[in-house]
């Protein structure tokens, strides 16, 4: 069959909501886009462990410590599923990790912001996991089968994380004056970066059209961002806190919240590597990898010895 | 009598908490993603054990005591954990060896504790021993892998032994409050099992090493103060707040 027909068949499957599986024919660009997106997502889970892992040793109660450790560990698990999903497209985990460390592969910019107080653990869970969920719920229906299935598992845990984050803030919002201030401060610092998680405006986004046609994405950046704002603008009322956007206002006509302009200059700066923690995050990942080199070598050498012993026996 | 039981329970709680705190430092920094998850899992198990022991100690103590007041508001002279578990993570080999030496002890100790006369301690021990069995298997497999892996990993394990062995004697020395089980009686069995694993790992069992002690009595290495400073920082900065 000429490539033309393969492509038509492929698009037909997508249009008919039939999942694409690893062994199916797919256009090169579809494969590449998925590898890029899934590995980037995996890297985000792994780098995302750092700002929160940062507070495990200082968690203010044993219960909070247990919840936080379990959460960060969940993120490691998400990274694992996602690396496996990306591997089905023909790229090894090692290659993906090398691309992360060389700067060739990206991860979500949100993790380039510092986690400064305990309230940040609440704000990250509520806002960052909250923003991630909207994207991930959509991805449960993405056209590439292994990615969609990984997302279904991940989404359950993410919504749990969001509730825990909210609950952490709720306790602070009902606490002492210092705790309330800590809560508001964390919301102020994480609000705008979490809006940036949805990516550039649709008019600026390069890959959007093709990704929609292939049903890799099913909602645009701006749609998802609006959904998020509408959700959070309601939830913040329960906390009795405010969002740091004077332009935020319910628009009766649109049936959506209006909001102020995002600082796109900051967004692109962080993407380009100039965020407050870009350097620390990548250095931490590289160091873990380099320090682990001898461990991986030893494990491999031992496995080989074992294998040749069984063969000899 | 009751104060012995409280102190002993706190000793068990502190040891589990401090090792959990150490292991959790690996979270996000492990050598292999699967092992990052494994060590974090052990940290979480130990934290769960610590909480059970602290909650029991709080009940015994009565008054305003809670698991958090016991973990967050006692000083380095009051903590009763083993010296072994407060030692730094070092490299992966040192962390593995610390875990193995401890888990091998904890397993034997829980075997006895689950049959002890104190119902509550027995219940916690029989619940926890299943986790410990996993920690023991996981860490002993890693001791073999690293001991018998490459030349470099073998040498690193020798260094880890040199670093940690001197803290193992304390496990088998009864503190005044340690009346519920006879830890000295576990020593022979422990030594036999460690020797078997070390021999498979092609590692030597050290002999005639001077043993450092004091943790059970609240005389620690200098490391513990720094750990508690970090662990207790938020609670002590905002006294009385709920989290
Ligand atoms: Fe996640
Ligand atoms: Fe996440
Ligand atoms: Fe999450």
Q: Rounded to a whole number, what is the distance in angstroms from the first to the last CA of chain A?
A: 51
pLDDT at res. A208: 74
Q: Report ipTM (2 d.p.).
A: 0.98
pLDDT of residue A1: 63
B6 CA to chain A: closest CA distance, Å? Answer: 19
Whole-number Å distance between alpha carbons of B241 and B239: 6
**Low pLDDT (below 70) residues in chain B:** none
Contact of A155 with A133, CB cutoff 8 Å: yes
Q: How far apart are CA B26 and CA A69, in angstroms?
A: 11
Question: How does pLDDT run across A175-223, given as a tens digit for each residue?
Answer: 999 999 999 999 999 999 999 999 999 998 776 788 999 999 999 999 9
Those residues whose C-beta lies under 8 Å from the C-beta of residue A20, and which sit 6 or more positions away, are: A10, A13, A14, A26, A30, A143, A144, A145
Return d(Cα A312, Cα A36) in angstroms, integer.
Answer: 43
Which residue matches tokens 């970090």? B230
Q: What is the pLDDT of residue A311?
A: 80
What is the widest separation between alpha-carbon atoms in chain B?
56
Is B243 domain-assigned? no
Helix and strand numbers (H, E) in chain A are: 14, 2
Chain B CB contacts of A288 below 8 Å: 28-31
Summarised one tens digit per residue, pLDDT across range B167-201 is 999 999 999 999 999 999 999 999 999 999 999 99
Residue B136 resides in a domain: yes
- Report yes or no: B80 and B13 within 8 Å, Cβ to Cβ: no
Q: Do B47 and A66 touch (CB under 8 A)?
A: yes
Compare CB distances from A73 to B31, B44, B67 and report the shortest one's residue: B44
Beta-bridge mates of residue A82: none
Distance, in Å, from the CA atom of A217 to the CA atom of A205, rounded to the nearest integer, reads: 13
Nearest neighbour of A62 by CB, restricted to B68, B93, B144: B68
B200 within a domain of the structure (yes/no): yes
Residues of chain A with pLDDT under 70: 1, 3, 207, 313
Decide if B67 and A65 are in contact by the 8 Å CB cutoff. Answer: no
CB B84, CB B170: distance < 8 Å: yes
Nearest by CB to A73, which of B37, B145, B156?
B37
Q: Which domain holds residue B137?
A: 2-237
Helices (H), A142-217: 145-173, 177-196, 208-213
> How much is the pLDDT for A66?
98
Kindly give, in sequence order, each residue whose CB lies less than 8 Å from that of residue B174, ignoring residues fewer than 6 positions away: B182, B183, B184
The CATH number of the domain where B191 resides is what? Answer: 1.20.1260.10
Judged by CB atoms closer than 8 Å, whether chains meet at A294 and B156 is answered as: yes
Query: How far does residue A80's CA lie from ligand 3's centre (Å)?
Result: 13
Number of domains in chain B: 1
Within a domain: B226: yes
DSSP state, A112?
Answer: G
Whether B10 is covered by a domain: the verdict is yes
Using CA atoms, how far apart are residues B230 and B219, in angstroms rounded to an integer? 19
Overall residue count recorded for chain B in this entry: 243
With vertex at residue A225, the alpha carbon angle to CA A219 and CA A227, rounded to the nearest 5 degrees, is 80
**pLDDT at residue number A206:** 73
B208 CA from centroid of ligand 3 (Å): 50
* Residue B115 included in any domain: yes
Residue B52 lies in a domain: yes
Nearest Cα to A42, choosing from A4, A81, A9?
Answer: A81
pTM for the full model?
A: 0.96
CA distance A295 to chain B (A): 7
In a domain, B120, yes or no: yes
């Amino acid at each position: 069959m000429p490539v033309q027909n393969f492509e038509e068949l492929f698009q037909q499957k997508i249009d008919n909501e039939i999942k694409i599986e690893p062994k199916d024919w797919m256009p090169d660009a579809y494969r590449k886009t998925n590898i890029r997106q899934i590995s980037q997502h995996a890297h985000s889970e792994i780098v995302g462990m750092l700002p929160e892992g940062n507070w495990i040793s200082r968690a203010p109660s044993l219960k909070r410590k247990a919840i936080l450790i379990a959460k960060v560990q969940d993120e490691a698990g998400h990274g694992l599923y996602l690396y496996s999903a990306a591997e089905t497209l023909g790229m090894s985990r090692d290659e993906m990790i090398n691309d992360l460390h060389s700067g060739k592969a990206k991860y979500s910019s949100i993790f380039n912001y510092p986690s400064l107080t305990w309230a940040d653990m609440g704000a990250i869970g509520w806002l960052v996991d909250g923003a991630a969920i909207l994207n991930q719920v959509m991805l449960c229906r993405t056209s590439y089968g292994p990615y969609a299935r990984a997302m279904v598992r991940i989404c359950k845990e993410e919504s749990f994380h969001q509730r825990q984050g909210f609950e952490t803030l709720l306790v602070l919002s009902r606490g002492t004056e210092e705790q309330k201030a800590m809560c508001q401060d964390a919301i102020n610092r994480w609000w705008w970066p979490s809006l940036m998680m949805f990516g550039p405006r649709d008019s600026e986004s390069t890959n959007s059209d093709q990704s929609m046609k292939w049903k890799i994405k099913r909602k645009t950046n701006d749609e998802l961002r609006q959904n998020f704002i509408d959700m959070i603008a309601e939830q913040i009322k329960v906390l009795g806190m405010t969002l740091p956007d004077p332009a935020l206002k319910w628009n009766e006509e649109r049936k959506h919240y209006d909001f102020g302009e995002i600082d796109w200059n900051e967004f692109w700066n962080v993407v380009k590597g100039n965020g407050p923690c870009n350097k620390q995050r990548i250095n931490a990942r590289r160091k873990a990898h380099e320090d682990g080199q001898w461990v991986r070598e030893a494990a491999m050498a031992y496995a080989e010895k074992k294998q040749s012993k069984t063969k000899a026996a | 009598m009751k104060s012995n039981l409280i102190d002993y329970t706190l000793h068990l709680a502190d040891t589990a908490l401090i090792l959990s705190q150490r292991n959790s430092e690996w979270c996000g920094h492990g050598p292999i993603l699967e092992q990052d998850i494994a060590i974090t899992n052990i940290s979480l198990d130990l934290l769960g054990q610590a909480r059970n022991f602290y909650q029991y100690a709080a009940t015994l103590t009565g008054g305003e005591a809670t698991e958090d007041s016991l973990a967050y508001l006692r000083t380095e002279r009051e903590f009763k954990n083993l010296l072994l578990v407060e030692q730094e993570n070092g490299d992966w080999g040192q962390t593995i060896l610390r875990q193995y030496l401890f888990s091998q002890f904890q397993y034997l100790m829980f075997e006895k504790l689950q049959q002890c006369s104190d119902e509550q301690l027995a219940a916690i021990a029989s619940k926890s021993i299943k986790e410990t069995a996993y920690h023991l298997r996981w860490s002993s497999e890693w001791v073999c892998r690293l001991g018998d892996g490459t030349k470099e990993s073998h040498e690193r394990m020798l260094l880890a032994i040199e670093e940690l062995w001197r803290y193992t004697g304390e496990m088998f020395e009864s503190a005044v409050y340690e009346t519920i089980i006879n830890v000295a009686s576990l020593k022979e069995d422990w030594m036999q099992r460690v020797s078997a694993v070390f021999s498979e790992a092609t590692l030597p069992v050290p002999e005639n090493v001077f043993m450092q002690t004091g943790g059970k009595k609240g005389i620690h290495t200098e490391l513990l103060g720094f750990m508690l400073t970090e662990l207790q920082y938020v609670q002590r900065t905002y006294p009385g707040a709920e989290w």
